[in-house]
């Protein structure tokens, strides 16, 4: 295959008929403050794991809301659950519990990933 100096960007359109949004509902049930997130990224800026791995809580929140669960699962495995982001969040989102909930839900319902 030839290299032209660029690659074909994958389509980022969200098809809500195909994406599984059950995870977002389950996370909100377990940790209602998940719904308060405004996507400001303060959590991400303070994250120690993010300093070393590119982990990004805001991105996780976005992926979960979009129902892009497979990517979300790959991401949350990088969190070390230190809870620093909890202190920084201006909306009082219990970010640490959101991450923990996603991990727990995934371990229980494998079929959320496809």
Partner 1 sequence: MIKEGKKLIWQDYQKEIAGDHFFYVRSCIRQTFFPGSEWAFIKILKEFLHKDLYENPAHTTCTGIGYHTDVVPFDTTMTVAARQFALMTEAGYENLIPSCITSFGLYTEILETWREFPEVEARVREFLWKATRREFKKPKNLAHASDVIFKFRNQIAAQAKYRLVNKLTGEPLRVVEHIGCHYAKMFPSKGVGGAEYPYVLTGMVESWGGQVIDYPERRHCCGFGFRQYLVQANRGFSIACSKKKFDSMEPYKPDMIITNCPGCPMFLDRWQYVIGEMEGKTYGPDGHGIPVFTYEEVAGLLLGLDPWRLGLQVHQVSCESVLDKIGIEYDPDEKYKSLDGKDLGRPEVPSVLKV
Residues forming the site for partner 1 (CB under 8 A): 1-2, 4-11, 13
Specify the residue, 42 or 101, whose C-beta has the smaller distance to ligand SF4: 42
Only one of the segments 13-21, 23-31, 33-41, 66-74 lies at the binding site for ligand SF4 (rule: CB under 6 A); that segment is: 33-41
Q: How far is the CB of 20 from partner 1 (least distance, A)?
A: 22
Q: Residues 5-14, buried b or exposed e (16+ Cβ, 10 A)?
A: eeeeeeeeee
4's tokens: 């032209």
Handedness of CA 31, 86, 57, 66 (dihedral sign): positive
Residue 91 as a binder of ligand SF4 (CB under 6 A): the answer is yes
* 58 close to 39: Cβ distance less than 8 angstroms: yes
Give the residue, chosen from 89, 102, 105, 112, that forms a contact with ligand SF4 under the rule CB under 6 A: 89
Q: Is 65 in the site for ligand SF4 (CB under 6 A)?
A: no
What is the token pair recorded at 55? Answer: 């982990």
């Amino acid at each position: 295959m030839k290299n032209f100096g660029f690659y074909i960007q994958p389509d980022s359109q969200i098809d809500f008929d195909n994406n599984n949004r059950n995870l977002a509902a389950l996370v909100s049930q377990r940790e209602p403050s998940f719904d308060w997130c405004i996507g400001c990224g303060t959590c991400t800026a303070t994250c120690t794991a993010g300093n070393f791995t590119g982990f990004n809580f805001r991105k996780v929140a976005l992926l979960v809301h979009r129902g892009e669960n497979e990517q979300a699962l790959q991401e949350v495995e990088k969190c070390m659950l230190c809870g620093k982001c909890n202190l920084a969040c201006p909306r009082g989102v219990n970010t640490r519990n959101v991450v923990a909930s996603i991990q727990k839900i995934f371990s229980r319902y494998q079929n959320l990933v496809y």
